[in-house]
Amino acid sequence: MKKDFIVGKALTQWKREYPLVEKIMATQEILWANPKYSSSVEAMKQLKMGSRDVEEVEERLKRFAPYIARAFPETRQTKGLIESPLVRIPEMQRKLEHLCHQKVQGKLLLKCDNQLPISGSIKARGGIYEVLKHAEDLAIRNNRLCLEDDYSVLDNDSFKDFFSQYSIAVGSTGNLGLSIGIMSAKLGFRVTVHMSADAKQWKKDMLRSKGVMVVEYASDYSKAVEEGRKQSNTDPKGYFIDDENSKDLFLGYAVAAHRLKQQLEDMQIVVDEDHPLFVYLPCGVGGGPGGVTFGLKLMFQDNVHCFFSEPTHAPAMLLGLMTGLHNQVSVGDFGIDNITDADGLAVGRPSGFVGRTLENLISGVFTVNDESLYILLSVLSDSENIQLEPSALAGLPGIIRLFNNQVGHQYLEDHQLNHKMGNAVHVSWATGGSMVPKDIMEGYYEKGLRLLADNNYILTHPLKL
């Protein structure tokens, strides 16, 4: 609902203070550079978390690796480590330049979290980690496990019986539910996933087939979270995973950074003062991209530039950061409908925890419309034979925006990056896709092809991305 007053200020006043508001409200694709972005060392000093916290997560994941390898045979090759490949996508880079009539500098890579084992999305990082941590806490507190044990003992009926006294619940638009649901059910927990209306049917079906309770809501993500929390709190042995405020989830995502650093080194790709790294991260509530950004800043400080990407119809983090109001503001306040096919990203209100933690560390946010996501989906499939779900394509326009946009030019100039851009590495974070059923993926692909072939669409939207 469009109102003349938005969180206590007249619309005309908002527009005066933040000229981009008009375009955002009109759901146009934009790039916003964060005026509060500053030196990472200084910004990190203000935070209560640091590298020690991320190391602790890595150690815990190592303790669980023997269990993961046993419970999920697809992780045997990586010895129970849940990690995804980093690949070069030169053909896609060429296609993008051609489609958008825009030359770019540097090399484009794709971080393939769509291939993460167990749940096929970035949620296999934070979501699974938080369930494991909770399981470890319970088992240790009840003298059933110690830190030195081989955790593969968890894969047995007596542990499943033990965990079955406890319940876990989460609110989700889909992928978080898959991660939490699959992992919790495997350990033996009673698990309930509270799903928003936009969650895909196949995700609900898959969860139910694994013994997960799925509760469906007619409203959006925030409502599913609220109801889920309320119900979970009535169970004294219940544990609610709070996507909007969880430090564990956040730190679970952060581990990705150290692993990415190793992968870059293995590919002999240098990141330093003369070789900047740009990372483009699809953002929903913010925990995934936020955690990764936090980890990357610990690894690369000012040599990494993290941009978040959101659907034009759900620019929650953008509004939160830009206005400084974080979770005090929702896209609905600005008359934006929060309707998008990018499931993980259909979030109307950002995490206040993530926004406040990273308000000086996020370089900027850009928005993408659904049509662009479908077009990119089919172009990526044709050029690199990689299939992603729509939301996972949202990072790709980042490399174009940096070069075809005045805001991008200004960012490069402000940070004296222009002469280094030939050495730049751009990583688009592909956040999900491998669990999508084949027929549904084909539907996405064909939709992308149709849009590409539609001259009207291309004429009115000359793929500025």
Q: What is the largest CA-CA distance in the chain?
A: 66
Candidates 83-91, 384-392, 420-428, 436-444: pick the segment binding ligand PLP (CB under 6 A).
384-392
Candidates 223-231, 279-287, 356-364, 405-413: pick the segment binding ligand PLP (CB under 6 A).
279-287
Cα–Cα nearest to 32, from 407, 429, 465: 407
Give the nearest distance from C-beta 410 to ligand PLP in angstroms: 26
Whole-angstrom Cα distance, residue 453 to residue 51? Answer: 48
Per CB under 6 A, the list member of 80, 177, 289, 398 interacting with ligand PLP is 289
Residue 285 makes contact with ligand PLP by CB under 6 A? yes
Candidates 8-16, 81-89, 99-107, 286-294: pick the segment binding ligand PLP (CB under 6 A).
286-294
- Backbone phi, psi, residue 427, to 5°: -115, 120
Give the nearest distance from C-beta 455 to ligand PLP in angstroms: 30
Residue 175 makes contact with ligand PLP by CB under 6 A? yes
Cα–Cα nearest to 91, from 371, 463, 379: 379
* DSSP letter (8 states) at residue 432: B
Give the nearest distance from C-beta 340 to ligand PLP in angstroms: 12
Per CB under 6 A, the list member of 66, 286, 295, 311 interacting with ligand PLP is 286
Residue 75 makes contact with ligand PLP by CB under 6 A? no
* DSSP letter (8 states) at residue 6: E
Whole-angstrom Cα distance, residue 374 to residue 402? Answer: 21
Is 423 strand, coil or helix? helix
Exposed e or buried b for every residue in 397-407, given b needs 16+ CB within 10 A? bbbbbbbbbee
Contacts of 247 (CB under 8 A, 6+ apart): 49, 353
Burial (CB < 10 A; 0-12, 13-18, 19+), residue 53, is middle
Per CB under 6 A, the list member of 80, 181, 288, 348 interacting with ligand PLP is 288
Give the nearest distance from C-beta 246 to ligand PLP in angstroms: 10
Q: Please, how many CA atoms are within 13 Å of residue 59, restricted to the half-sphere of its CB? A: 8
Would you say 155 or 243 has its CB closer to ligand PLP?
Answer: 243
Residue 312 makes contact with ligand PLP by CB under 6 A? no
Amino acid at 378: S
Per CB under 6 A, the list member of 431, 452, 463, 465 interacting with ligand PLP is 431
Cα–Cα nearest to 181, from 125, 147, 131, 229: 131
Would you say 117 or 287 has its CB closer to ligand PLP?
Answer: 287
Residues 320-379 that bind ligand PLP (CB under 6 A): 344-345
- Residue with CB nearest ligand PLP? 344
Count the helices and strands in the chain (H runs, E runs): 19, 13
Would you say 122 or 214 has its CB closer to ligand PLP?
Answer: 122
* DSSP letter (8 states) at residue 29: -
Would you say 162 or 429 has its CB closer to ligand PLP?
Answer: 429
Q: Which helix (H) or strand (E) holds 238?
A: strand 238-241
Is 124 strand, coil or helix? helix
Give the nearest distance from C-beta 432 to ligand PLP in angstroms: 3
Per CB under 6 A, the list member of 391, 404, 405, 428 interacting with ligand PLP is 391
Would you say 184 or 351 has its CB closer to ligand PLP?
Answer: 351
Would you say 27 or 391 has its CB closer to ligand PLP?
Answer: 391
Cα–Cα nearest to 315, from 302, 303, 301, 329: 329
Would you say 139 or 180 has its CB closer to ligand PLP?
Answer: 180
Give the nearest distance from C-beta 250 to ligand PLP in angstroms: 9
Packing angle of the helix pair 123-141, 175-187 (nearest 10 deg)? 30
Per CB under 6 A, the list member of 284, 355, 397, 408 interacting with ligand PLP is 284
Would you say 271 or 388 has its CB closer to ligand PLP?
Answer: 388
Whether the Cβ atoms of residue 229 and residue 242 lie closer than 8 Å to each other:
yes
Residues 113-132 that bind ligand PLP (CB under 6 A): 121-123
Site for ligand PLP, rule CB under 6 A: 121-123, 175-176, 282-289, 344-345, 389, 391-392, 431-432
